[in-house]
Chains A and B, each alone.
Chain A
Amino acid sequence: QKEVEQDPGPLSVPEGAIVSLNCTYSNSAFQYFMWYRQYSRKGPELLMYTYSSGNKEDGRFTAQVDKSSKYISLFIRDSQPSDSATYLCAMIGYSGAGSYQLTFGKGTKLSVIP
């Protein structure tokens, strides 16, 4: 079982729809949870990060973490064509000897159709 599982999609939705993107993980040591957005031919950029279980909102984006279920989600409200990108979840956990490991999901490709 991979440490981080993410459905690669592709996911296609009409403009204005609510989008739900999800990741599951198996490593209980993961402490920080992030969502990166990657546009075509660009590097990933940090979209949101959260530490604790619960919700964190930033404009049209809401990140949700459920540590008991080892499940994280990103919700996009009123989706726009400009949201079309690949969304990667990422997690940080202590890997021993003073080191922390950042692990990415494979990414979900989202297309928002006008």
Chain B
Amino acid sequence: DSGVTQTPKHLITATGQRVTLRCSPRSGDLSVYWYQQSLDQGLQFLIQYYNGEERAKGNILERFSAQQFPDLHSELNLSSLELGDSALYFCASSVAEGGGQENTGELFFGEGSRLTVL
């Protein structure tokens, strides 16, 4: 158990709909990362928050948004869903703000939210 909790585990919805994925980081971790994993693209970085503020942005679509709340939990909002958005969405947390010498690159991943768009 990594200590990172993600809900829901599975979600099935229709094209054009909006969903919210939730993540609770490990106790004490200030950074939250969101990743999308699909068979053809692998693990793609979407966005990172550190202590409530956006820290880094990856290949996140404009239809997607995220935020980190004062209690450090985070939500990823996916709107106007398309078939191609079907994927596993992982949340990860770490103590450090970013990479570099203070960060060995150890992210603690949740078990993911599997989104199916029909």
- Give A residues with C-beta under 8 Å from B: 32, 34, 41-46, 49, 88, 90, 92-95, 98-107
Contacts and interface: CB of A to CB of B under 8 A. Distances in A.
Interface centre among A94, A98, A100 (most CB of B within 10 A): A100
B74 to A, nearest CB: 15
Q: Looking at chain A's contact residues, is the secondary structure mostly helix, strand, loop, or mixed?
A: strand
B103 A46 contact: no
A105 B45 CA distance: 12
B49 interface: no
Contacts of B108: 45
B4 interface: yes
Number of contact residues on B: which range applies? 20 to 34
B106 A105 contact: no
A43 B42 contact: no
A100 B106 contact: no
Contacts of A32: 99, 104-105
Given A101-B56, A106-B42, A43 B105 contact: no
B2 interface: yes
Contact of B98 (A45, A46, A100, A107): A100
Contacts, number: 68
B25 interface: no
B43 interface: yes
A103 to B, nearest CB: 8
Given A43-B92, A43-B110, A43-B112, A99 B98 contact: yes
Q: Looking at chain B's contact residues, is the secondary structure mostly helix, strand, loop, or mixed?
A: loop
Interface string B53-64: 001100000000
Interface in B84-118: 90, 92, 98-100, 103-112
Contacts of A94: 99-100
Given A92-B99, A100-B103, A105 B2 contact: no
A36 B118 CA distance: 31
A41 B104 CA distance: 25
Q: For the complex of A and B, list the 5 residue pairs with the smallest distance between their C-beta atoms, beginning with the closest.
A: A100-B99, A43-B109, A106-B42, A92-B99, A104-B43
A41 B112 CA distance: 8
Contact of A49 (B41, B105, B111): B105
